[in-house]
Amino acid sequence: MNVLIVYAHPDPNSLNAALKHYAIQRLQTAGHAVQVSDLYAMEWNAKLAASEIPKLENHRADILREQEKLLWADTVIFQFPLWWFSMPAIMKGWVERVYTLGFGYGVGEHSDVRWGDRYGEGTLTGKRAMLMVTAGGWESHYSPRGINGAVDELLFPIHHGILYYPGMEVLPPFMVYRTGHMDDARYAAICEELGQRLDTLATTPPIPFRRQNHGDYDIPVMTLKSEIAPGVEGFKAHLHQPPSLL
């Protein structure tokens, strides 16, 4: 399997750097080919230029290189520390620039039964994606009634809007909470847990997001049909069934 790790952390001595190193070793030992887009080390330009919105051609070489890596990959891992409840700005800027018109969005035809190729269909169809996220807060702070909001809801815009939108199946995230509370034993246990997730990338059931063009939504208003999940609103309405692993 070809695995691309898109990685955002500025400090080579961080927990994230150690986990990245572990993940690369584990994947390579299992026989997978690994490429890493280390956004800080690459000095990735995170600013979308006026000339890049929206253009089908004349993309800069750095954008084309990242698109080639995405096309090469069977699985894409986005690894980052949770910063202000989302991905670091440099990674958001990677998405903004790499997901160009005709690649990340604006793919496929519109008709009475299709609204383009998105949400389960698109350029990255057939690939899998997983977030690997570290957070300073406790797991309970991100539980369904936790003060920070439920983690599956916080990550919904990334899972659904960035990974599922261009067609990737999205695996449940690998989360490390309470990062300030780390010792050798806990780090070893986290690596073991991460290793299990990496060993099962190809077989882990994805989050069961509904497909846009498979009959659940009224086109073109793009709301769920009244008979689908009646009374259910918000992010969870876009799941076929309650997530078991979040």
Binding residues (CB under 6 A) for ligand FMN: these are 9, 14-16, 81-85, 134-137, 179
User: Which two structure tokens, joined as six digits, stand for 185?
Assistant: 């034993």
Q: Smallest distance from the beta carbon of 193 to ligand FMN, in angstroms?
A: 16
Closest CA to 209 of 156, 143, 145: 156
Pick between residue 162 and residue 190 the one whose CB is nearest to ligand FMN. Answer: 190
Do residues 91 and 8 touch, judged by C-beta distance below 8 A? Answer: yes
Q: Smallest distance from the beta carbon of 198 to ligand FMN, in angstroms?
A: 18
Contact residues for 101 (Cβ-Cβ < 8 A; gap 6+):
54, 55, 56
Pick between residue 32 and residue 141 the one whose CB is nearest to ligand FMN. Answer: 141
Q: Smallest distance from the beta carbon of 14 to ligand FMN, in angstroms?
A: 3
Q: Smallest distance from the beta carbon of 184 to ligand FMN, in angstroms?
A: 15
Beta strands in 82-166 (DSSP E): 128-134
Pick between residue 16 and residue 212 the one whose CB is nearest to ligand FMN. Answer: 16
Pick between residue 1 and residue 182 the one whose CB is nearest to ligand FMN. Answer: 182
Pick between residue 151 and residue 170 the one whose CB is nearest to ligand FMN. Answer: 151
Q: Smallest distance from the beta carbon of 139 to ligand FMN, in angstroms?
A: 10
- For 45, the 3-state DSSP assignment is coil
Residue 99 CA to residue 83 CA, distance in Å, equals 22
User: Which two structure tokens, joined as six digits, stand for 152?
Assistant: 């599956």
Token pair 């958001």 in the structure block, residue = 92
